[in-house]
Amino acid sequence: MDPNKLIQMARKAMEQAHAPYSGYKVGAALLCADGRVFKGCNIENASYGLTNCAERTALFSAVAAGKRDFKAMAIAASGDPAPYPCGACRQVLSEFCPPDFPIHVVTSAGEFETLPLGELLPYTFRLKPPSESSD
Ligand code: THU
């Protein structure tokens, strides 16, 4: 899929963000191997630490729907800074996605940067090798 199309879906997902505390809305779109796209937004909470990032919302929705094989993710935010995924999201993504998994981060109007997950999170914590962790 054209990264721009996935980015457009991430922008759309951002519209559902619940971000009354930070005012920083984030949207993510996750492309599955079967072509389906799962969207997610950040969902903040009055107890700040319970906030869920857009990336994990998208991934958890997809996993809960039975998806396990993912091709790419796009992330967009309502303003600066660019939404490079946080450490927690990098670790959660690495449970299901390989090091060459491409993440398209929208940097400014009409531009994006593509980074492989393995570059964002080298030395991922794993209890099992990827070949044994498919279920
Ligand atoms: N946030 C995301 O949803 N994804 C990111 O990549 C970075 C941070 C959210 C969490 C919180 O709702 C807001 O952005 C400010 O940290």
Regarding the beta carbon of 73 and ligand 1, being less than 6 Å apart is answered no
Write down the pTM of the prediction.
Answer: 0.94
Q: Which of 37, 35, 43 shows the shortest CA–CA distance to 14?
A: 43
Q: Would you say 84 and 105 are in contact if contact means Cβ atoms under 8 Å apart?
A: yes
Catalytic residues: 55
Nearest CA to ligand 1 atom 3: 53
C-alpha 107/C-alpha 93 separation (Å) is: 20
Domain carrying residue 30 = 3-132
CA of 132 to the centre of ligand 1 (A): 31
Number of structural domains (the chain) is: 1
Length of the chain: 135
Copy the structure tokens of residue 111. Answer: 């531009």
Q: Can you tell me whether residue 43 is helix, strand or coil?
A: strand
| CATH code, domain with 16 | 3.40.140.10
CA of 26 to the centre of ligand 1 (A): 6
What is the pLDDT tens value at each position of the chain, 135 positions in all? 899 999 999 999 999 999 999 999 999 999 999 999 999 999 999 999 999 999 999 999 999 999 999 999 999 999 999 999 999 999 999 999 999 999 999 998 779 999 999 999 999 999 976 666 555
